[in-house]
Structure 1
Amino acid sequence: MAISDRKIREKEDLKKRILEAAKALFLEKGFEATSMRNIAEKVEFSPTTLYLYYKDKNDIVFALHQEGFKLLAQQFSIVSNVEHPYERLKTMGRIYLKFAEENPDFYELMFVRQGPIIHVQKYNSDDWQEGSRTYNVLYETVIECQKEGYFKNLLPHSVSLIIWSTLHGMCTLHMHMRLDCVTFEDDYEIDPEKSRTDYIYETFISFIERLK
């Protein structure tokens, strides 16, 4: 391996260590309570060295949120095998819910925390590429559904935003334990073996069935 290649690899490994340390601290202490000095201490760097890799804490959060979108994109890749667009849409809903439940730390950074968007606004002229690419998968699927006769007389962006905001709202309420405070009087109570995620998914499907 050439010296230049080794240096690039070492730099990427160090950046990965920083991100892993920051992620652990954000989960343990919270974003606001975690400082750049805390992160530097965890990876045994000086704060000055840390600033060579990341401009500030929001820059680190933005990098973590990019990793989250890469992971979500990998999981969404399987929907390309689902031929019918409406079935594809339902599969996307299941993947989104599963991702949120299995990766709450990433989900929080990607769709709840302001840090990544503050970074985008500061350095990238409001160009949220990762989120836009993910949204476009949904939007294009909705357009294909409309070609098959679904969601008639509705604007594709309106349908996409309704679907996204509905799923996001239920995921966020679930992640922050707000649904634990609600007394359910329908089939969720009748079937106690049903998981909360299954209940959310079935509620989502019943909603888009009426919307279609």
Structure 2
Amino acid sequence: MGIKERKERHREDFKARILQAAKKLFVTDGYEATSIRKIAAEIEFSPTTIYLYYKDKTDIAYALHQEGFGLMRERFSALAYVDDPFERLKAMGRGYIQFAIDHPDFYELMFIMKEPMQYLQAHHPEDEWEEGEQVFNTLMQTVEGCKAHGYFSSMPTEEMAMLSWSVVHGLCSLHITSHFKHIAEKCSDIELVKQDTLLESVFGAYLQLLERLK
């Protein structure tokens, strides 16, 4: 490996350390309470060094946002081989939920925190939301396939795709923010299901509704 390659690897490794530290602090301390100085202290470097790689903490938040979408696209890419579009739609929902369970920190950065979108609007107002567009277009294509098989025939593709995303996102948000846990623990008079299966059961009810839309 030459000097140029070693420098590039060092640069990428250091950026990864910055992002990992920032992700931890954003989730544990909150975005507002996290500063470049705190991120620098976490990795035992000076704040000045971090500014060599990122302009500010919104730049860091957006970089994490992009990294999370990369992980999500990798997970969804395997579903392209599911021939039946309705089964693919259900699998996408399950994969989306599992992503939120496996990566709650990334999920919060991608879909709950407002800062990454504010960064995009402030620094690249002329650009589309490429990360989200790619995932949403995959969902749109799957809904189109479902319509070709007789599902959702009376609903516009865009509205059905947005409805599907909204429902599953709502379930994920309730889960990772512990709202489901609170309901299961405190609302004993509501005979839902046990806490550890509540998310799965509500998602199952959603799939039953989709079946009836054929």
Q: Please give the range of the TM-score, normalised by the shorter of the 2 chains.
A: over 0.9
- What does residue 21 of structure 1 align with? 21
- What does residue 169 of structure 2 align with? 168
- What does residue 34 of structure 2 align with? 34
CA shift for structure 1 position 81: 1.7
- What does residue 159 of structure 1 align with? 160
Q: Is the Cα contact below 8 Å between 1:97 and 1:201 reproduced in 2? A: no
Structure 2 residues without counterparts, runs of 5 or longer: none
Q: Residues 31-70 of structure 1 correspond to what in structure 2 (within 5 A)?
A: 31-70=31-70
- What does residue 147 of structure 2 align with? 146
- What does residue 136 of structure 1 align with? 137
User: Which deviations, in whole Å up to 9, do the C-alpha atoms of 1:123-170 show, x marking residues without a partner?
Assistant: 222521111101111011001111111101211000000000011111
Q: Distance in 2 between matches of 1:8 and 1:67?
A: 18
TM-score (norm: length of structure 1): 0.92
Q: Distance in 2 between matches of 1:72 and 1:66?
A: 10
- What does residue 207 of structure 2 align with? 205
User: Which deviations, in whole Å up to 9, do the C-alpha atoms of 1:33-54 show, x marking residues without a partner?
Assistant: 1101101111222211111101
Asked if 1:196 corresponds to 2:198, the answer is yes
CA shift for structure 1 position 103: 0.9
Higher mean C-alpha deviation, range 177-186 or range 108-117: 177-186
Q: Distance in 1 between matches of 2:77 and 2:176?
A: 24
Look up the SS of the partner of 2:150 in the other structure.
Answer: coil
RMSD over aligned CA atoms reads: 1.7
CA shift for structure 1 position 196: 2.1
Structure 1 residues without counterparts, runs of 5 or longer: none
Look up the SS of the partner of 1:42 in the other structure.
Answer: helix
**Runs (4+) off by over 4 Å:** none
- What does residue 84 of structure 2 align with? 84
Distance 1:162 1:17, change over 3 A: same
CA shift for structure 1 position 194: 6.3
Q: Is the Cα contact below 8 Å between 1:36 and 1:47 reproduced in 2? A: yes
User: Which deviations, in whole Å up to 9, do the C-alpha atoms of 1:73-105 show, x marking residues without a partner?
Assistant: 111112112100000000001101111111110
Distance 1:179 1:197, change over 3 A: closer
Identical aligned pairs, as a percentage? 45
CA shift for structure 1 position 7: 1.1
Question: How many residues are aligned here?
Answer: 209
